[in-house]
Amino acid sequence: MFTIRVFDNDPNKNPDGKPIMSGDGSEQYRTLARMAKDQKDQRIKKIIDMRYNSDNNKLIAWKIIAKEMKMSIQGCINIHNKFITKHQKELCITQ
């Protein structure tokens, strides 16, 4: 299984460039999926499922997710990051 790592590219919040969330992929995926399920915008659940619910050790590329969602790559990343930022405390993300 892979490790989920979320980075904050804002140098003021993350000056050392280290991940702000990491851990066992299956455990983190279950937490993310549970939280995404309750969101009004169901694109979040689909993006989380596609990005992290994979049988191999690699994350699904944003290009593939964007094509499936019929959105831009940056649009998918923005939805993902907004969700992660909104739920940082519940995800035990440290900065």
Residue-wise pLDDT tens digits, 4-54: 555 545 444 444 554 444 445 567 777 788 888 888 888 999 998 888 887
**Res 1: pLDDT:** 40
Residues in the chain, overall count: 95
Residue 48 one-letter amino acid = I
Mean per-residue pLDDT of the chain = 75
**Res 20: pLDDT:** 41
Query: Is residue 78 within 8 Å of residue 72, measured between CB atoms?
Result: no
**Res 38: pLDDT:** 85
Beta bridge partners of 5: 22
Residue by residue, DSSP assigns 8-19 as ---TTT-TT---
Distance CA 38, CA 15 (A): 32
**Res 18: pLDDT:** 47
Query: Is residue 66 within 8 Å of residue 76, measured between CB atoms?
Result: yes
